[in-house]
Amino acid sequence: MTSDSERETEASHRSGREITVPSDDGDFVAYLAVPAEGHGPGILVLQEWWGLVPEIRDVCDRLARAGFVALAPDLYRGDATRDPDEAARLMMGLEIERAGRDLEQAAATLQRRPETDGTRLGCIGFCMGGRLALEAAGRVPAIGAVVDCYGVHPKVDPDFAACRAKVLGVFAENDEFVSKADVAALADALRSAGVVHRFRTYLGVRHAFLNEARPEVFDPGMAAEAWRDVLTFLDAELR
């Protein structure tokens, strides 16, 4: 778990801040990062199975530097871990319907922020969050652009027929969690639902190759290339 002292140390060097998202299921925390200009298109950032850890806040800060208002809801409501077994337990224990309502409330909060430009939102998620980004697009009509980074969760079954967003899929060639067959099945499901999508598989990399906190899988070259693709997509769809 992440201790209070670790959170305080981390917060001291960040440009973003935590806000409270109101919910009938009980209010929860989200991390908000705003561009230096003070405004921009809104993007939801959805966590990996570890929780709302520093790396997800890093993603929000990165997106803010690129001109987006980024909001990462704490879908575990306070829990976070570095232990894979505990992460798997947290992921499989996530109440999907409640998490879906949290996504709706986070999107509504982001839309209401005075810093958020326009009426369309983006959503990017990693691992568990990638699958939940597709879930969010089926629940929130305002989401017009989704980036699914090697998304996986066996209990999340998005409503692709209700998705009005364009989808960019970011996948790893040597992913031990998301197979080539999984990617092909997702493409078929999106195509059948009439969802405009583009997938790219990055060669020679493994699952979570964008996560700088995991040196055993992080690939600086492919990560930089993927981020260029992601930002190009989001710029085209949300500006």
Q: Higher confidence at residue 3 or residue 42?
A: 42
Beta bridge partners of 197: 167
Q: Phi first, then psi: give them for residue 133, nearest 5 degrees.
A: -65, -40
Band of pLDDT at residue 14, cut at 50, 70 and 90:
confident
Hey, what are 72's tokens? Answer: 């990462």
The count of structural domains within the chain is 1
Residue 124 belongs to domain with CATH number: 3.40.50.1820
Band of pLDDT at residue 15, cut at 50, 70 and 90:
confident
What is the span of the domain harbouring residue 81? Answer: 4-238
Mind listing the pLDDT tens digit for each residue in 157-176? 999 999 999 999 999 999 99
Question: What does the pLDDT average to over 23-32?
Answer: 97
pTM, 2 dp: 0.94
β-sheet with 116-126: strand ranges across: 17-21, 28-33, 69-73, 40-46, 116-126, 143-149, 166-174, 197-206
How do strand 116-126 and strand 40-46 relate by DSSP bridges? parallel
